[in-house]
Amino acid sequence: MGHLRAFLFYVGAGAAAALFASLGILLLPAPFVLRYRVVTGWTRFALWWLRLTCGLSHRVSGREHIPEGPAIILCKHQSAWETMALQLVFPEQVWVFKRELLWVPFFGWGLACLDPIVINRAARHNALRQLIDQGKERLGRGIWITLFPEGTRVAPGRQGRYYAGGGLLAVEARVPVVPVAHNAGLFWPRNGFVKKPGVIDMVIGPVIDTKDKSAREVMQTAETWIEGQARRLLPIADA
């Protein structure tokens, strides 16, 4: 039954992605805010459809910590779920990801309509400079930036290396950092087809002020909070 539910989810989400990506391409001449609101309509549908087909919903705590912005979101990365959910919790944002994602039919095309910061991981130095330059430009336009500091999805209970790019950008742009933790990997595992029914918990942490701090200090503060919360959200037997 779980495989059937997941199949229905992907069929519906895929068909909707084709529609919204096509709309996004047609709206390329339009202002960013309009394109964002239209294309992320897919996200609203996908999470509603996920709840309907797979019985997987979510709850968010800590919304009171969201500043007026713009700011940088540093989020734990466990699944594909948080890439969608963050769009419904925070203001208009762009994401930092590897350029290969743009080649995914419809999904990548939709992302391309939303002014992402696309990097080439093979050229690490140039990628960092690109992140800072383009990140400052987006922040200057009042757009938030979402980064997954571990760079890849990590299974619940595990921790990857936290890269300094988010901290460097925050310090140079003089904007705050908002840490986010969740337990989506318990329900939507990396490369997992079946989605377990339940309620995903997302927690938004207190704003990290970057004034008079080094990038290393910013990242250490974010890492400590995120990993502590991620452990707290594990089942008791695994914590």
pLDDT for res 1: 84
Beta strands in 36-103 (DSSP E): 56-61, 72-75, 93-98
What domains are defined for the chain? 56-232 (3.40.1130.10)
pLDDT for res 53: 98
Query: Nearest 5 degrees, angle CA 202-CA 205-CA 211?
Result: 150
pLDDT for res 122: 66
What is the rounded distance in angstroms from the CA atom of residue 52 to the CA atom of residue 44? 12
pLDDT for res 127: 82
pLDDT for res 121: 67
Give 22's DSSP letter.
H
Looking at this protein, which amino acid is placed at residue 4?
L
Q: What is the mean pLDDT of each run of 10 residues along the chain (239 residues)?
A: 94 94 91 93 96 98 95 96 95 87 77 85 76 94 96 93 95 97 96 94 98 96 98 79
Instruction: Check: pTM over 0.85? Answer yes or no.
Output: yes
Environment class of 31 (CB within 10 Å of its CB; exposed 0-12, middle 13-18, buried 19+)? exposed
200 SS3 class: strand
Structure tokens at 162: 């936290």
Q: Which helix (H) or strand (E) holds 169?
A: helix 165-173
What is the rounded distance in angstroms from the CA atom of residue 203 to the CA atom of residue 187? 16
Structure tokens at 88: 């419904």
Q: Is the dihedral of CA 185, 191, 194, 195 positive or negative?
A: positive
Structure tokens at 57: 């919903």
- CA 10 vs. chain centroid, Å, equals 19
pLDDT for res 124: 67
Strand order across the beta sheet in which 198-204 lies: 56-61, 198-204, 177-182, 72-75, 144-147, 93-98, 117-119
pLDDT for res 99: 75
Please count the helices (runs of H) and the strands (runs of E) in the chain: 8, 7
Rounded to 10 degrees, what is the CA torsion of 58, 61, 67, 70? -30
Biggest CA–CA distance in the chain, Å, is 54
pLDDT for res 239: 54
